[in-house]
């Protein structure tokens, strides 16, 4: 029914807030018994790739766009590693407003670029990395007086809390472990705030340990050191200077969790495992979560039987190149039945 309808009572919306709805949220929470069994845990995956633009960004974008319209904005701008731009472009199109998106040139997965373009956004390829593009977008938003819809916009984070609320409602309470990719660090901050809400409202006695995962080549929070030249196959989280670093560090420390890193090889292995043994195709950034669980299990650092949720933040179809790079090409035959039967033997 859309995030603003389902959770409007708990969000800063009033009768003056325009109703914006692409039927985002209410995504599946899927139990993965084959993979969970191998890891010795009760494993659940939140399929955020089932959102209308194919990532979790829609949860926050719907409120950011509704509030911007309420406040009189008529255009939007964002910088993005891909998914924020796809989401912003979709919602801008839906409400009939122009949208400018700044992308790090050549570093955005093909599906996400296709989305921003087909939704009709003004797509600008910046000759710098995401962190620089974000600075530029912030300055342009101020000068041109248009709404900035990156997660520096507080409504994004507030509305992304709905992911945690849905998990608590589906499981009856919060899980033991919450495992989530970390780029600009907004989502881990939002989930922790959402879990605390349910705790304060008396609807979950449990608070999960928050485990934030970064790619080894873009791990400012996991290493505690700035990362001026982030690099990873998981382009969504190719971010060196996370805007929400402070709240992410708080989420991890208050919950008794930790940050972990995984290599590009571990990420791609996990992507394949999730598809082959779970039936789920998620983009590389999302697969950092399973990669980390595999790594922790191997080091005997995974509490056996723990109820664990991984957030699969984006759809695998967004980055076909990453998937194709690690699989065998199709078997080629002519058009005879004999050849077919031979390859099926």
Among 51, 53, 84, 153, binds ligand AN7 (CB under 6 A): 84
Nearest 5°: the CA angle 301, 302, 307 is 160
| Residue 266: C-alpha distances to residues 175, 192, 319 (Å) | 25, 26, 17
Considering the complex, state which of residue 193 and residue 206 has its C-beta at the smaller distance from ligand AN7.
Answer: 193
Considering the complex, state which of residue 129 and residue 173 has its C-beta at the smaller distance from ligand AN7.
Answer: 129
Among 168, 185, 222, 296, binds ligand AN7 (CB under 6 A): 185
CB 221 → ligand AN7: shortest distance, Å?
9
Among 53, 153, 187, 214, binds ligand AN7 (CB under 6 A): 187
Question: In the window 308-327, what residues touch ligand AN7 (CB under 6 A)?
Answer: 313-314
CB 283 → ligand AN7: shortest distance, Å?
5
- When asked if residue 257 is in the footprint of ligand AN7 (CB under 6 A), the reply is no
CB 235 → ligand AN7: shortest distance, Å?
9
Q: What is the DSSP string of 91-106?
A: HHHHHT--EEEEEETT
Among 27, 53, 73, 83, binds ligand AN7 (CB under 6 A): 83
- When asked if residue 285 is in the footprint of ligand AN7 (CB under 6 A), the reply is yes
Among 51, 73, 81, 255, binds ligand AN7 (CB under 6 A): 81
Q: Is 28 exposed, middle or buried (0-12, 13-18, 19+ CB in 10 A)?
A: middle
Among 116, 237, 274, 302, binds ligand AN7 (CB under 6 A): 237
Considering the complex, state which of residue 32 and residue 89 has its C-beta at the smaller distance from ligand AN7.
Answer: 89
Go through 34-54 and write b for each residue having 16 or more CB atoms within 10 A of its CB, e for each that does not.
ebbeebebbbbbbbbbbbbbb
- When asked if residue 129 is in the footprint of ligand AN7 (CB under 6 A), the reply is no
Tokens 């916009």 appear where? 153
Q: How many CA atoms lie within 13 A of 134 on its CB side?
A: 20
Considering the complex, state which of residue 44 and residue 130 has its C-beta at the smaller distance from ligand AN7.
Answer: 130
Considering the complex, state which of residue 107 and residue 209 has its C-beta at the smaller distance from ligand AN7.
Answer: 107
Q: Cα-Cα-Cα-Cα dihedral of 185, 186, 189, 194, to 10°?
A: -150
Q: Put residue 279 in one of left, alpha, beta given phi > 0 → left and psi -120 to 50 → alpha.
A: left
Among 24, 266, 283, 319, binds ligand AN7 (CB under 6 A): 283
Among 27, 51, 55, 173, binds ligand AN7 (CB under 6 A): 55
Which residues are paired to 78 by β-bridges? 101
CB 332 → ligand AN7: shortest distance, Å?
33
Strand-pair category, 42-47 with 29-31:
antiparallel
CB 90 → ligand AN7: shortest distance, Å?
13
| Residue 127: C-alpha distances to residues 106, 122, 131, 132 (Å) | 9, 16, 11, 9
Q: What are phi and psi of 337, to 5 degrees?
A: -65, -35
What residues make contact with ligand AN7 under the rule CB under 6 A?
55, 80-84, 151, 181-187, 236-237, 283, 285-286, 313-314
């Amino acid at each position: 029914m859309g995030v603003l309808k389902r959770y409007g009572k708990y969000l800063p919306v009033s009768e003056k807030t325009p109703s914006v709805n692409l039927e985002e949220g209410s995504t599946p929470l899927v139990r993965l018994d084959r993979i969970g069994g191998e890891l010795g845990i009760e494993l659940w995956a939140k399929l955020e790739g089932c959102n209308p633009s194919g990532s979790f960004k829609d949860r926050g974008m719907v409120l950011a766009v509704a509030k911007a319209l309420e406040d009189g904005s008529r255009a939007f701008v964002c910088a993005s590693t891909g998914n924020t731009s796809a989401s912003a472009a979709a919602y801008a199109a839906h409400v009939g407003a122009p949208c400018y998106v700044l992308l790090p040139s050549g570093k955005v997965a093909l599906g996400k670029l296709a989305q921003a373009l087909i939704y009709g956004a003004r797509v600008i390829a910046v000759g710098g990395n995401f962190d620089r593009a974000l600075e530029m977008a912030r300055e342009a938003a101020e000068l041109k007086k248009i709404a900035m819809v990156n997660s520096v916009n507080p409504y994004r984070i507030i509305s992304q809390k709905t992911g945690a609320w849905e998990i608590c409602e589906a499981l009856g309470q919060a899980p033991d472990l919450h495992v989530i990719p970390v780029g600009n660090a907004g989502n881990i901050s939002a989930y922790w705030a959402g879990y605390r809400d349910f705790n304060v409202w008396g609807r979950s006695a449990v608070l999960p340990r928050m485990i934030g995962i970064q790619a080894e080549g873009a791990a400012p929070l996991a290493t505690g050191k700035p990362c001026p030249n982030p690099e990873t196959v998981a382009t969504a989280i190719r971010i060196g200077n996370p805007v929400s670093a402070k709240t992410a560090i708080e989420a991890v420390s208050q919950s008794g969790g930790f940050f972990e890193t995984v290599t590009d090889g571990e990420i791609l292995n996990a992507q394949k495992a999730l598809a082959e043994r779970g039936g789920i195709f998620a983009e590389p950034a999302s697969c950092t979560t399973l990669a980390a669980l595999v790594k922790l299990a191997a080091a005997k650092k995974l509490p056996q039987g723990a109820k664990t949720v991984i957030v699969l933040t984006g759809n695998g179809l967004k980055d076909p190149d990453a998937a194709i790079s690690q699989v065998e090409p199709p078997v080629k035959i002519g058009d005879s039945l004999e050849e077919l039967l031979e390859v099926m033997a």
